[in-house]
């Protein structure tokens, strides 16, 4: 269970973007997992991978919550989620800059349509393959890839509109391989 | 409407970006396409930013302890429930056993004692008369081996076998 807690928590947090709420949903997920394992009902038979099965339970819990609250677009919490991420041994200026960038990224991801945000979170945080994401979300792999593409392009577009955006990656690269 | 073949190539860019293609390099025909090449660079740029900024989030360290805590009352109920069930079953078994034994005892009282075909277990009675009879039989046996018969012995044996006092004759044999 410990091995899978980070991908599951990353997904839930990416979807609701509220650390306290993510903890509640994470807890709810693992209670459901334990229940299912004890009852051996509707659940995990040791044929498939454990993580996608747990992710499906986490997804159901998360979407149930989002839909019960009647909001397709979750609010951005002001509990400083990004502040909890360690910044390493950077100078205060760099820490501040990184914090601003992270806050911007958080807001931008929150503005993505739910389907795009979900695929982005599942791939980036939970490290599920696109095939696994397609199975989890009951869509074709092309649909999952298409959602990811739009998510990345939308973020790129938002970054372009961002004031004081620093272009850290040169546009012309000799080799893209 | 975008050409499906073009869309397929775009999806392939995404897969390549996340290392889900067998080839490590993009095919040359995709690199030669300016639009695809530009899109790939954009996607790679934003992915680089995500990788850099979006570090893996972990839940609180005590989250598993909290989950276990939340499950404890349920487990206690889960333990108590079979215990109550087994106690009920034991009580029911005891009642049934008691009824069966009581019924058997009543049947035994109703039945005549010698009608049972089961072998009768004989236990040694410490009563004085039985001990007395036994000692007499032992005495007779000892004397019969030695051949020392006399009237007293015969009379003693009669009293044992016939249940009469020495010197007396049963009325039925007269």
Biggest CA-to-CA distance, chain B: 146
Residue B105 near chain A (CB below 8 Å): no
Q: Which residue has the tokens 């019960």?
A: A68
Please tell me the distance from the alpha carbon of residue B97 to that of residue B156, in angstroms, as a whole number.
52
Higher pLDDT pick, B134 / B20: B20
- Statement: the pTM of the whole predicted model exceeds 0.90: no
- Distance between CA atoms of residues B68 and A173, nearest Å: 52
Using an 8 Å CB-CB cutoff, list chain B residues near A169. Answer: 41, 44-45, 48
User: Per residue in A115-147, pLDDT tens?
Assistant: 999 999 999 988 899 999 999 999 999 999 999
pLDDT at B129: 67
Q: What pLDDT was estimated at residue B152? A: 58
Residues of B in contact with A125 (CB under 8 A): 54, 56-57
Q: Which of A5, A85, A155 is opposite residue B59, by nearest beta carbon?
A: A5
CA distance A13 to A76: 11
Q: Please give the mean pLDDT across all residues of chain B.
A: 72
The CA distance from A88 to A90, in Å, is: 6
Q: Please tell me the predicted confidence (pLDDT) of residue A78.
A: 42
Does ipTM exceed 0.85? Answer: no
- B69 in reach of chain A (CB within 8 A): no
Residues making up chain A, counted from first to last? 177
Is B46 within 8 Å of chain A by CB?
A: yes
Which positions ≥6 away from A130 have C-beta within 8 Å? A123, A141, A144, A145, A148, B14, B15, B18, B20
DSSP annotation of A23 = H
pLDDT digits (tens, 9 = 90+) for B47-56: 998 988 876 7
Burial of A51 (0-12, 13-18, 19+ CB in 10 A): middle
Cβ atoms within 10 Å, residue B22: 5
Could you tell me if A93 lies within 8 Å of chain B, comparing CB atoms?
no
């Amino acid at each position: 269970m410990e091995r899978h807690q980070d991908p599951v928590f990353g997904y839930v947090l990416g979807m609701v973007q509220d650390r306290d709420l993510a903890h509640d949903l994470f807890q709810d997920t693992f209670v459901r997992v334990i229940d299912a394992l004890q009852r051996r009902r509707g659940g995990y038979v040791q044929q498939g991978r454990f993580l996608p099965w747990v992710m499906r339970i986490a997804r159901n819990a998360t979407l149930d919550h989002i839909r019960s609250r009647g909001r397709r677009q979750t609010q951005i919490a002001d509990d400083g989620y990004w502040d909890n991420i360690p910044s390493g041994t950077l100078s205060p200026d760099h820490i501040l800059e990184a914090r601003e960038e992270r806050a911007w990224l958080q807001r931008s991801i929150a503005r993505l349509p739910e389907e795009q945000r979900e695929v982005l979170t599942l791939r980036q945080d939970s490290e599920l393959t696109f095939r696994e994401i397609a199975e989890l979300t009951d869509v074709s792999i092309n649909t999952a890839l298409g959602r990811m593409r739009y998510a990345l392009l939308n973020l790129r577009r938002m970054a372009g509109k961002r004031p004081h955006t620093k272009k850290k990656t040169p546009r012309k690269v000799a080799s893209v391989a | 409407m975008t050409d499906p073949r073009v869309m397929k190539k775009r999806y392939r860019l995404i897969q390549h970006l996340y290392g889900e293609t067998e080839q490590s390099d993009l095919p040359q025909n995709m690199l030669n396409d300016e639009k695809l090449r530009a899109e790939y660079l954009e996607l790679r740029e934003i992915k680089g930013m995500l990788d850099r900024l979006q570090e893996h989030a972990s839940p609180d360290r005590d989250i598993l302890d909290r989950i276990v805590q939340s499950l404890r009352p349920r487990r206690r109920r889960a333990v108590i429930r079979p215990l109550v069930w087994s106690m009920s079953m034991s009580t029911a078994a005891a009642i049934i056993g008691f009824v069966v034994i009581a019924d058997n005892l009543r049947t035994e009282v109703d039945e005549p004692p010698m009608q049972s075909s089961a072998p009768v277990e004989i236990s040694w009675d410490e009563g004085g008369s039985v001990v007395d009879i036994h000692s007499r039989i032992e005495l007779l046996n000892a004397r019969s081996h030695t051949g020392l018969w006399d009237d007293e012995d015969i009379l003693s044996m009669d009293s044992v076998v016939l249940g009469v006092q020495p010197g007396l004759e049963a009325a039925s044999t007269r």
